[in-house]
Every structure is written in C-alpha cells, then in structure tokens.
A and B are shown apart, each in its own frame.
Chain A
Amino acid sequence: MKQALSQARYGIAAVVAVVALFVIGALAAPNLTFRVYYAVSFIVLAAIGLAIIFGIMGVINLAHGEFILVGAYATTLSVTKLGVPLPAGMLVGALVTALFGLVVERVIISGYVPNWIGQQTVGRDLIKPFYDRLADSMVATFGLSLIMVQGARIVFGNSINQIGVPFGSTAGYPDYRIALVGITAGVLAVVYLLFTRTDFGTRVRATMQDEQTAMALGINTERTYMLTFAIGSGLAGFTGALFAPLLSMQPTLGSQFLVEAFVAVVVGGASVVVGTSLSGLMLGPIDALFSDEFGEFAGRIALLVAAMLALRFLPGGITGVVDRLRDRMEGGS
C-alpha cells in the first residue's frame, strides 16, 4: 500500500508541476508557452498510438503516419461531404481508423484471415503473426504505408478540401492549438486509466509481460492483441482528426508525424504513458525553440540529435531513468 501511494504521489507531483509551469508561463510569456506546449502536444499525440502498438505488441508500425492520414481524411470528409459537426467528425475519424486497424491486424499483423484461408485450402497456415518480430513488422507495414499513400492519391486525388480552424486566438496564438494541449492531457489520462484501472488494462499488461502465462490464466491473448492494435490505431486516427483543421489534406500528410512519433517512442522507452508524456515534455521545447529560431528543418535535426544523445546516455529511455529513480527512492525510504 505504501509503495503504491508513493508512486501515485510522484505522478501527481509531476502533473501539478507541468500544470503550474503552464499557468506561470501563460501569464509571463504566453506566446512562447503556448508554442512549447503545443509542440509537446503534437509529439505526444503523434506518438501515443505508435507507443501502444510497439510497447505492447512488439510491432513497429511504419504505416503509423498513414493511420493518422485515415483519421484526418475520415474527419475532413465526414465534415465537408456529410455535414457532420466537427467534434462528431473527429469521433468518426477515430472510429474509422480503429476499424481499419482491426482489419489490418486480422489480415496482416496476426495473419488470421490468410491463415484461415490457408487452412481451408492447403491445410496449413500461410503466414506467421508479426507480434514481436520487429524487422519483419517494419517491412510489412512499410509496404502497407506505400499502398495507403498511393491508394489515397488514386481515390481522393492529390488533395481534398480542408476544414477551417475552429475558435479565435489568445495573445496572438490560435485557441484551437491551446485547446489541443488540454485534449492531449485528457487523452493521456484516459489511456493511463484504461491500462491501469480496468480489467482490459490488466489483461493487456499481463499479456505484454508474459503471453504464455496469460494464456494459461485463461486470457484470450489473441483478442487482447487485436483490441490493443485497434485502440492504438484509433488513437492515431484521433490524432489525425485533431490535426485535420491545421494541416493541408494531402496523401503524404502522415509523414509529418513520423519523425516526432518515432523519436518520442525511442526516447520514452517501455512505458506507454510515462515514457511518451515525459519524452514529449523533453522534446517539445527542443522542437519548438529550434523550429521557431531556425525553421522546421532545424527543429527536426534537433529532435534527431536529442534522440541520439538520449540513446547514448539513457539506453532504457526515460522510462529506465524513472524506474531507477523510483527504485532508489523506495530503496532509501
């Protein structure tokens, strides 16, 4: 009990510190603060779906950017073509991407569909599931990303009409971008509660730690993987939905998220919520300051340099540092 309380205390202290910094920054230097926090939000939202799929299933989804594209397109088309209100359109974007992810998981990642066909026709499985096959999953999802980009180009053309940016501005900074900061905090809270406070979350964490034991305890690990992939995909779609009003709707828009997403996952380490949020908080200011001062290209270079330094000095990522600090504090208490 004591251990759990001390962990909760550290978490609450970290959240309070981030909120306090935001409030103080917003009063003292609003524009800079909003820019930095928006950059943090961008990185966290870009990475969260990828972190879930990679952290839990051991699948590197190189089509992650294109899953974001699906969410952005589904949202934009439902708003512009069907007249759906923007918030509902965003939910549509997330749901469509989650369903798309479900299909990808069944057809490619788990191989369920081709293996079923194989069993019916030649009496054996045709492919091996891509769980925990990092290099293989990269090749498969890279192929998928190429197909998706070209598919979007063939079906929708080189661009589609964009949605207008909602809300006005504060201190010369768009309110919608400030709202994204709050939404990011909400997404992190929901993901945290989902994985730590629900039966599903316990099943996911158990499957992630030891699949064989999870199966022996009656957990349907295949369904757990399938739902996890759908949730990760849905979050990628939600990211696309949130950024749809801010981006030009082109088939290649997903590539804008890929660098930030992968750097954040690498720097964050194993823990989905703690790792992703802390790496966002570390990389966001670097990205914002370098991009503002020297342009977007310099911002990306700075992110990659930060990732290389993090890999050199923090091989377990930020999660590793947090774990070591926690062990030291608990050992000392």
Chain B
Amino acid sequence: MSESSDPASLGPNVRQTAAEMATGDRTETLLQTEDLVKTFGGFTATDSVDFAIEEGELRCLIGPNGAGKSTLLKLITGTLTPTDGAVYYNGHDITDLAPNKRVDRGISMKFQVPSVYGDLTVRENARLPIQQFADGAERRQLVRESIDAAGLSGYEQVEASTLSHGQQQQLEISMAASLEPDLLLLDEPVAGLSVDERAKIAERVTRLNEDEGIAFIVIEHDTDFVGEIADKVTVLDEGDVFREGSIEEIESDPAVKRIYLGEDDGGDE
C-alpha cells in the first residue's frame, strides 16, 4: 500500500470524493480508516475499524480499557504498523508513511503518559517540534509563543521532569500544537488532573479547535470533559466501533452503559 493520489487506490469515502469532485461537489473528510486491523500475537487490538472524521471536527473516543482506543491513535500516527487495512488522510493513502512524514502532512499526537522529555528544559522541549521547520528569529518567536500558551513563562530553563503533571500536559499539548497540525490526537489529556487543570485543558482544546480550525480526536474516560468539548462521540469496544453519536445519545444508550459502565440495562443486546 504505497502512498498514492490515484482515486482508484483510495478508500471508499475518498473514491466517493473523486466522483463528487467530477460533479463539482466536495467532501470534507479529513481522515478515514478502512478495515484497520492490529494484532499483537494472538490478541486483536483493533478489528476491521472503519472510522472517519471531518475537517475541523472535535471527536472523542471512549470505551472500556482494552477497547483499542490508544492502538487506533497509534495506527493513525504511524507509530504502530497495521496488520491489515488502510489509513487515508486528505484523500491520500498514508498507511505506509513514516510517522515523521505524517507529521509533515499535519497529524500530531499527545500520548497517554506525559511524554515531555524530563531531562530537557521546558525551552528545549518546546523547541523540539519547532526546530523541524523554523530557524532564527521565527523559531525564537514560536518557542516563546508555545511556552506562553502552555502558561509556562518563567519556567524556560527548568527541567521538564520538575513540572507538575498538569504543567507537563499543557507543555505537551503546546508541543503537539506548535507543529501546526490539521489533526491533533490527544490520549487522555486530563487523566489525573484537578478540576481547575481540567478546565484549562478543555478551554485550550476548544480554542485550538474553534479559533485555529484544528480537528481533534480525543481519548478520554472523563465523560464530563467529553460532554464539554466534543461534537460527536465514538464508542469503541473489543477493537471495533460500537456506537457513534452525540454525548447525549451515547450516554442514554443502554448497550453503551452495559459495555462501558458495566451497568445492566436489562436488555438482550
């Protein structure tokens, strides 16, 4: 599956796009996965996942532990290679594209465990993504803005390992956002944060989405946070998409309650 712009080699939604383009119509599908499978030995982490999001959308992924949420995100960023299936981004097959090339295309990610570089200073951390594409005064300006956006002015020379958990999360979002992505993937951005810190992250994600048009896929267990930020929610279970809808629809779905919250709705599904 090599990178290609040939409509015949694209996924179903993109093939539709090619047809629509011929008639002057236009789809806004940003990312689509097609029958995406990832197995680890005998364990199937994702099982033929078909998933798509539109440009500028803010989608939350929820589901019980082991549902395949983090695996799906890593397959999208390319840090994991799928066993089968394909990933399309802006109409191109990126399944075999190296992770750093996907970043160049506009996909960025913040991992579940805070992954700021503890041995590097805040400035060095903020500079890492920016140094890939900017130099000199522009780089200094972007680094300053990235640190300011994380609320870490005055901490530039501090080793990142000494920051609080919330500060590390903010720094990491800054690092991911400074790559100027079209799609930002966040894996449990508010896990372990206080109410205040959670509110700050929610405000920041919403601002980046609304003001800068960045599309988000956010994995989160905190349903209050999900309700606060998400346009649409996708529920994963046993490695596949189980339900999609608004947070209200999802929260009131008895089958979701059963698989996700372990609640018995008395139904037979």
Binding site for B on A (CB under 8 A): 1-4, 199, 202-203, 205-206, 209-210, 212-222
Contact = CB atoms under 8 A, between A and B. Distances in A.
Contacts of B129: 217-218
A202 B127 CA distance: 9
B158 interface: yes
A216 B117 contact: no
Given A210-B117, A217-B175, A219-B128, 16 more contacts: A3-B162, A4-B157, A202-B120, A209-B118, A212-B79, A213-B117, A214-B128, A215-B79, A216-B108, A217-B108, A217-B128, A217-B129, A218-B103, A218-B132, A219-B100, A221-B100
Most chain B CB within 10 A, of A203, A210, A214, A218, is at A218
A218 B115 contact: no
Most chain B CB within 10 A, of A213, A214, A220, A222, is at A213
B60 interface: no
B99 A216 contact: yes
Contacts of A210: 115, 117
Contacts of A3: 157-159, 162
B48 interface: no
Nearest to A199: B131
A202 B131 contact: yes
B118 A218 contact: no
Contacts of A218: 100, 103-104, 129, 132-133, 179
Most chain B CB within 10 A, of A199, A205, A210, A215, is at A215
Contact of A213 (B78, B111, B158, B179): B111
Contacts of A220: 98, 100
A217 B79 contact: no
A332 to B, nearest CB: 15
B171 to A, nearest CB: 12
Contacts of A217: 103, 108, 128-129, 132, 175-176, 179
A2 B78 CA distance: 39
Contacts of B157: 1-4
A214 B103 CA distance: 11
B7 to A, nearest CB: 25
Contacts of A205: 117, 119-120
A216 B128 contact: no
Interface string B86-99: 00000000000011
Contacts of A199: 131
Most chain A CB within 10 A, of B99, B115, B121, B133, is at B99
Contacts of A202: 120, 124, 127-128, 131
B109 interface: yes
A209 B132 contact: no
A209 B160 CA distance: 13
A215 B132 CA distance: 12
A28 to B, nearest CB: 40
B111 A212 contact: yes
A215 B124 CA distance: 16
A4 B109 contact: no
B77 interface: yes
Nearest to A2: B157
Given A216-B79, A216-B103, A206 B120 contact: yes
Interface string B21-58: 00000000000000000000000000000000000000
